[in-house]
């Protein structure tokens, strides 16, 4: 009898909703900032054919390897790069890939990372406490666990894990140091949480907190969203799928602020967040916490004015003629080449 061990796979979340929210069109240009195993990227490339182009970014070289083999069939339409989305603007300049019709962020980590051996993201497998998306990052989870002060650890566990017992957990970690593996850490947190019963394992929030801290997830998200807005062409779409409230809060506030300011640069596509159907959650339990938010790039009056000035028809602008449909078309074309 042969024993087949299935390789870990990643099932993309809210694919149909993502394609709709991105308004993917043939010949369009898209950036997938979190390429992972390439599931969303493949759907974008299918829908943008013929002529579509995709720039896929991932901080994890393993993800790039997996996505490269999956997306090989799309040939030159897919450009896949091992970079961090915190450098989104520089990456797009480097590869001359802007303005674009849509930008996607599918945040967090993939099943390949969670279930992959030796990455240290999960307490389901014993592994060194690493948790870095990229081996080029210097600080691992073990560094944080073994060198940070008790109060720094409590702060991280409370802020990024929204863990009520952060101080007890931090105290226990400091008592038990050195802690080198996932199972050692899970046991330590379990001891600190004795008596607590809940639906999730007591170490879940501490693991989430360390992963966020190791990879600067929240800071990088804020930085990347700001850069994304300037890379979108007129009517380009920004779509973000988040998996916990800390990420979603950042996305919600960012989109709200950018769509309600006097000089708004975004228009919200879905006023209410989009969530997976019951069927999707049943088929892919990892999708249960997913929330999708989408917005469209609009040019505000000042930007229209600047573009028009650049393209030398300021007379009409000054006379308030920029509302004329013909002029708006001209502006769109001018904006597309900026
Ligand atoms: C949820 S997975 C994406 C899955 C993908 N949409 C698919 O269909 O296979 C998130 C991916 O984003 C990557 N990632 C997270 N933060 C990143 C960052 N700051 N820069 C680049 N990639 C990042 C992770 O390495 C992971 O592969």
Query: Is any ligand 1 atom within 6 A of the Cβ of residue 109?
Result: yes
Helix and strand tally (H, E) in the chain? 16, 7
Q: Which residue out of 7, 34, 39 has the highest number of ligand 1 atoms within 8 Å of its CB and is therefore the one to mutate? A: 34
- Distance between CA atoms of 36 and 57, rounded to whole angstroms? 8
Question: In terms of Cα–Cα distance, which of 193, 135, 142 is closest to 165?
Answer: 193
Ligand 1 centroid, distance to 84 Cα (angstroms):
9
Residue 279 pLDDT > 70 = yes
Query: Is any ligand 1 atom within 6 A of the Cβ of residue 56?
Result: no
Which residue CA neighbors atom 14 of ligand 1 most closely?
A: 34
- The superfamily in CATH containing domain 15-112+217-298 is Vaccinia Virus protein VP39 (3.40.50.150)
pLDDT digits (tens, 9 = 90+) for 174-204: 999 999 999 999 999 999 987 666 778 999 9
- Which tokens belong to 147? 């060198």
Q: Which residue out of 11, 58, 137 has the highest number of ligand 1 atoms within 8 Å of its CB and is therefore the one to mutate? A: 58
- Distance between CA atoms of 260 and 298, rounded to whole angstroms? 12
Give pLDDT, residue 322: 55
Q: Which residue out of 133, 208, 224 has the highest number of ligand 1 atoms within 8 Å of its CB and is therefore the one to mutate? A: 133
Report the atom number in ligand 1 closest to the C-alpha of 63: 27
CATH classification number, 138-214, choose in 1.10.3720.10, 1.10.150.170, 1.20.1330.10, 2.40.30.10: 1.10.150.170
- Distance between CA atoms of 151 and 80, rounded to whole angstroms? 40
Of 99-108, 227-236, 290-299, the poorest mean pLDDT is in 227-236
Report the atom number in ligand 1 closest to the C-alpha of 58: 22
Listed by start position, the domains of the chain span 15-112+217-298, 138-214, 302-337
Q: What is the pTM of this model?
A: 0.91
pLDDT digits (tens, 9 = 90+) for 105-150: 999 999 989 887 789 999 988 999 999 999 999 999 999 999 999 9
Query: Is any ligand 1 atom within 6 A of the Cβ of residue 106?
Result: yes
Which residue CA neighbors atom 27 of ligand 1 most closely?
A: 36
């Amino acid at each position: 009898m042969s024993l087949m061990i299935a390789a870990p796979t990643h099932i993309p979340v809210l694919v149909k909703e993502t394609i709709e929210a991105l308004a993917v069109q043939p010949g369009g240009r898209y950036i997938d900032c979190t390429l992972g195993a390439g599931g969303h990227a493949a759907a974008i490339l299918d829908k943008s054919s013929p002529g579509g182009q995709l720039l896929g970014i991932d901080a994890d070289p393993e993800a790039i390897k997996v996505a490269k083999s999956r997306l090989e069939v799309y040939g030159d339409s897919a450009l896949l790069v091992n970079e961090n989305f915190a450098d989104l603007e520089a990456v797009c300049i480097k590869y001359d890939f802007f303005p674009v019709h849509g930008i996607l962020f599918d945040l967090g980590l993939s099943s390949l990372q969670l279930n992959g051996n030796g990455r240290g993201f999960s307490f389901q497998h014993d592994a060194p406490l690493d948790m870095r998306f990229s081996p080029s990052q210097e600080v691992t989870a073990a560094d944080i666990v073994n060198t940070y002060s008790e109060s720094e650890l409590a702060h991280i566990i409370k802020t990024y894990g929204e863990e009520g017992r952060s101080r007890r957990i931090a105290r226990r970690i400091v008592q038990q140091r050195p802690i080198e593996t996932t199972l050692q850490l899970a046991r330590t947190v379990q001891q600190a949480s004795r008596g607590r019963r809940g639906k999730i394992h007591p170490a879940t929030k501490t693991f989430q907190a360390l992963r966020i801290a190791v990879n600067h997830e929240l800071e990088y998200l804020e930085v990347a969203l700001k850069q994304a807005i300037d890379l979108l062409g007129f009517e380009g779409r920004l779509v973000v799928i988040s998996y916990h409230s800390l990420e979603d809060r950042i996305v919600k506030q960012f989109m709200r602020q950018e769509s309600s300011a006097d000089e708004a640069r975004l228009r919200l596509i879905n006023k209410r967040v989009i969530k997976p159907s019951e069927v999707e959650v049943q088929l892919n339990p990892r999708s249960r916490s997913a929330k999708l938010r989408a917005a469209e790039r609009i040019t505000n009056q000042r930007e229209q004015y600047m573009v028009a000035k650049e393209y030398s028809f300021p007379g009409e602008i000054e006379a308030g003629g920029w509302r004329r449909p013909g002029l708006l078309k001209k502006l769109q074309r001018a904006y597309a080449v900026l």
